Structure 1
Amino acid sequence: MTRYFTDREYGERPRTIDVIDERLWGGLHSLIDTRLGDGSFGYRFPEQCPDGYGPSGCDSQAFARMLRAEVPFVEWPVSHSELPETPAILDLLEFCATAVGQPIEGSYHSFFGHHHLSWDREAGLTRLVGDANLLFARNGVAYELTAEGRERRLLPQPLADALSWTQFTTGDAETDRLLEIARRRIALPKSENRVDALEKLWDAFERLKTLEPGADKRAQADALLDRAAAPGSNFRRVLADEAAALTKIGNGFRIRHSETTQEPLTSLDQVDYLFGRMFSFIRMVLRATGRGG
């Protein structure tokens, strides 16, 4: 990836933005339009030479028809000045990644004034991925195309590292399942997935409270924290305060339930903040009690 002066001297811009704006869309539109023009998408949608000598470019009409069917949220052609919704743009880039190859010129056909083409799939995809990710990085957007051409959301690095390495061995299959769903869905771009990840994490928290022996849930939760930190210690009190605060958050906001008295979360930043806070607590307790982490 190209690194500009400001990246080298001041560090790369934090990747914290979840919405593609007009400026970034203009760059992505040009990236796609250029590949339509140079025949890169002929790898999947080849235009045949009228004389039958093989492919000579990209069949833009076939490209558009299939795009409209596979990505119905985008009406192609779309103007660089008409901003689609961010999920639709991400779908569009994934569609383009399935179609791209690096054009290789073969014999020249003088009558039609074109070269016959073949395509290097790996080189074309690598270049598309690199160009798209440069635009995402330079604009501070928290998405990237993988080497396989799939979009993924970038998490803050400390949380990403924790999610990558944490193992769930709570001894309860349902708790492990909820934690694994939360881990996978918080990294997905769609807001519904991230909200669901937060709900699953809070569900896992409530189940975690009941994994130790005890006469009731309160006694079981106390036994869990007693294993995580020495009873009577300051850190044990910190854990109790945090567990109480997280329980209050779950009851006061629309995370697990939808009563009219519960306040909805109003931004994905709030979702990410609460997910990070809860996940840190759960991971610490898992590690301290020999249940993974």
Structure 2
Amino acid sequence: MRLYSERNGIRAPHEKTYSINIDVYALLLYCCKRYQKNLTRIFIKNSHHDFTDSDYITFDESGFITRIKVKIPLLFRDEYGRISIPQYGDEYDQYSLLDLIEFFAQNVKDISERWNNERYRNYQTIDCYNSSDVFTDFQEAINEIFFESGLLYELTDKKIIERIANNSSLTMEMENSFKLVHEQGIKDLLNDAVALYKTPNPAARQDSVEKIWDAFERLKTYYTMLDKKRSSEKIVNDMAKGDDNFVELFNLEFRALTDIGNKFRIRHHETNKVDIADIRYCDYLFNRCLSLINLAIQYLD
């Protein structure tokens, strides 16, 4: 729910960012810890209550800590090896925290806790279920923190975290249009490019540009009964619908993207290629190439 100052435009909006500061790190980690017992199904601890001589199930925190230490080794820990919140001045890997959130998202299951006896309440046991309705609550809690802090990430229904790209031409309708491409190789490259583009880690951004350029080059050979040059010409002519002005426009853009792919370190990595020095250039290049491809595939036979 938006508060008074937000509703009335008094509060300045949060700066949109991909960087998780320590305060937001703490909120996200606390959110995960609230759902820790929903992992009991994979971290079961069989306990025994001596007084009642009864066995019962609790959450195995030690087993959880050990598993996460192996699975997410760079997750920040304190001097005692416990999963913890960084202090100001500490170095931490924010993407490991996103790994932890995805681990929870993919493994939380519904549970119920109950006392062995409502009168004496000697111990609480946990009943585990196969359903995962609790994921929706976890997803909403995480995404609320992302939104309120200005973080450009989203925990999706696929139970993975994707970055939200500012000023991107990529839409869900566009992604759905990729399904219309009959050539499987182009379709796979487009899907891989988009997945990398949405990946939170900036290191994947360069790979997304490489994949989208691979898709562009493969698109040129879409009509296998023609050589590459004539296949490209057919694509351009179909896009232009016989209008010479647009034939010229699309030919220029095809050539420009081809030259960019050859000059910059996108598909080729020789020492004489120009490095993409700023990660924001990757977003620009990705969207420029994607826009042309998206238009072109609408005119394929």
CA displacement at 1:280 relative to structure 2: 0.9
> Which runs of 5 or more structure 1 residues have no equivalent in the other structure?
none
Amino acid at match of 1:53: S
State whether structure 2 residue 291 is matched by structure 1 residue 280.
Answer: yes
**Which residue of 1 is the match for residue 74 of structure 2?**
73
Deviation larger for 140-149 or 2-11 = 2-11
State whether structure 2 residue 46 is matched by structure 1 residue 24.
Answer: no
State whether structure 2 residue 106 is matched by structure 1 residue 91.
Answer: no
1:10-69 Cα distance to aligned partner (Å, 9 max, x none) = 599799633322222121122234445xx4444432444431634464222121111112
Deviation larger for 278-287 or 92-101 = 92-101
Task: Say if 1:42 and 1:6 are closer, same or farther in 2 by CA, change over 3 A.
Answer: farther
Task: Say if 1:62 and 1:211 are closer, same or farther in 2 by CA, change over 3 A.
Answer: closer
Distance 2:235 2:253 in 1: 13
CA displacement at 1:141 relative to structure 2: 2.1
Given candidates 243, 251, 261, the residue that maps to 2:254 is 243
State whether structure 2 residue 200 is matched by structure 1 residue 189.
Answer: yes
2:143–2:154 contact (8 Å) kept in structure 1: yes
Percentage of pairs with the same residue:
24
Deviation larger for 80-89 or 46-55 = 46-55
Distance 1:60 1:171 in 2: 50
Aligned residue runs from structure 1 range 105-184, under 5 A: 105-108=114-117, 114-119=123-128, 122-147=132-157, 149-155=159-165, 158-167=169-178, 172-184=183-195
Amino acid at match of 2:271: T
Task: Say if 1:60 and 1:111 are closer, same or farther in 2 by CA, change over 3 A.
Answer: farther
Secondary structure of 1:144's aligned partner? strand
Amino acid at match of 1:117: I
Task: Say if 1:247 and 1:16 are closer, same or farther in 2 by CA, change over 3 A.
Answer: farther
**Which residue of 2 is the match for residue 64 of structure 1?**
65
1:40–1:101 contact (8 Å) kept in structure 2: yes
Amino acid at match of 2:43: F
Task: Say if 1:102 and 1:257 are closer, same or farther in 2 by CA, change over 3 A.
Answer: same
2:146–2:153 contact (8 Å) kept in structure 1: yes
Aligned residue runs from structure 1 range 252-267, under 5 A: 252-267=263-278
Task: Say if 1:203 and 1:46 are closer, same or farther in 2 by CA, change over 3 A.
Answer: closer
Distance 1:282 1:6 in 2: 43
Q: TM-score, normalised by structure 2?
A: 0.77
CA displacement at 1:258 relative to structure 2: 0.8
Distance 1:150 1:231 in 2: 44
Kindly tell me the number of residue pairs found equivalent between the two proteins.
287
Q: Could you list the structure 1 runs, at least 4 aligned residues long, displaced by more than 6 angstroms after superposition.
A: 11-15, 109-112, 213-216
Q: TM-score, normalised by structure 1?
A: 0.79
Distance 1:211 1:148 in 2: 31
Aligned alpha-carbon RMSD (Å): 3.6
Amino acid at match of 1:136: F
Distance 1:113 1:199 in 2: 61
Task: Say if 1:214 and 1:115 are closer, same or farther in 2 by CA, change over 3 A.
Answer: closer
**Which residue of 2 is the match for residue 44 of structure 1?**
42
State whether structure 2 residue 230 is matched by structure 1 residue 225.
Answer: no
Amino acid at match of 2:215: A
Deviation larger for 97-106 or 266-275 = 97-106
CA displacement at 1:83 relative to structure 2: 5.4
Aligned residue runs from structure 1 range 2-17, under 5 A: 2-5=1-4, 8=7, 17=17
CA displacement at 1:117 relative to structure 2: 3.1
Secondary structure of 2:132's aligned partner? helix
Amino acid at match of 1:86: Q
